[in-house]
Structure 1
Amino acid sequence: MRRLSVKTRKKREIVDITDEVQELLSGSTGICFVHVQHTTAALTTADLDPGTDLDMLDAFEAMMPKLKYRHPHNPAHVPDHILSSLIGAAASVPVEDGTLVLGTWQRVILVELDGPRDRNLTVSFVAGS
């Protein structure tokens, strides 16, 4: 298992981590599994045409109802926890000959929901045929 650290700069932002994940792979074929070790960040794949990151963040914000949250630590960031759970804390991507197998426009992204922070990720590889 490898580790990856990502420093975010804003309260909410999309960070393309595709190249960083790719650098950790060997020449094998199998599955790459990336996991973020936080409950206010998420991982997924996305198209990152210019402005799409902001569209995604706007859509995430619009999905969250304005409720009276009961989280004892800090009710204001309950939406961050909920969005992290909905988007997910992990992404799996096939690997062929040491290269991530992504669609033409697909990128592996970290979705920061409560930054800026230093985010820790683990990257695992399972060899396949």
Structure 2
Amino acid sequence: MEPMLFKTHGKREILDITDSIQKRLSSRAAGSGICFLNVLHTTAALTTADLDPGTDLDMLDAFEAMVPHLHYRHPHNPEHVPDHILSALIGTAVTIPCSQGQLVLGTWQRIILVELDGPRTRQVVCNFLPLPD
């Protein structure tokens, strides 16, 4: 279970990782099953989204507006507490059904890594659980 590595380039960023996940899945799975994805960080998240032009920026603006500006008490670095909160709210795991080795996604649905405290190199674990046909 070698983690996949994704480099981000900004403080906050949305990165489409669908094609990379599909490529990893195609090399390991031929039948039907479930793809489990987990980002191994507390200041990043995974979800699915429609990525029409500008939607990524709309999402980042909405995420920013969700977290209040408070006096945070995190001993390590209070400035990135909102990043931890957003990671917990968005979630760090996604489960996607697969059919014949292909991710089953909606027409516009993409798997996205949400960077909340970059730039960094993020690790995503991809596991596949085969199901009987």
Tell me the TM-score range normalised by the shorter chain.
Answer: over 0.9
User: What residue in structure 2 maps to residue 28 of structure 1?
Assistant: 31
- Among candidates 67, 92, 109, match of residue 95 of structure 2: 92
- Superposed CA RMSD in Å reads 0.7
Q: CA deviation at 1:124?
A: 0.3
Q: What's the secondary structure of 1:120's corresponding residue?
A: strand
Amino acid at match of 1:11: K
* Greater alpha carbon shift after TM alignment, 24-33 vs 53-62: 24-33
User: C-alpha separation between the residues in 2 aligned to 1:74 and 1:95?
Assistant: 40
Structure 1 residue 63, shift from structure 2 partner: 0.6
Matches of 1:72 and 1:43 in 2, distance apart? Answer: 26
Structure 1 residue runs of 4 or more that deviate by more than 6 Å after TM superposition: none
Correspondence for 1:19: 19
> How many residues matched?
129
Structure 1 residue identity aligned to 2:50 = D
Q: Counterpart of 1:103 in 2: which secondary structure?
A: coil
The sequence identity of aligned pairs, in percent, is: 67
1:51 deviates by 0.3
Q: Which letter maps to 2:58? A: D
Q: Does residue 66 of the first structure (1) align with residue 40 of the second (2)?
A: no
Given that residues 2 and 124 in structure 1 are in contact (C-alpha distance below 8 angstroms), is that contact kept between their aligned partners in structure 2? no
Distance 1:2 1:86 in 2: 26
How many angstroms does 1:2 deviate by? Answer: 4.1
Provide the TM-score with structure 2 as the length reference.
0.95
Runs (5+) with no aligned partner, structure 1: none
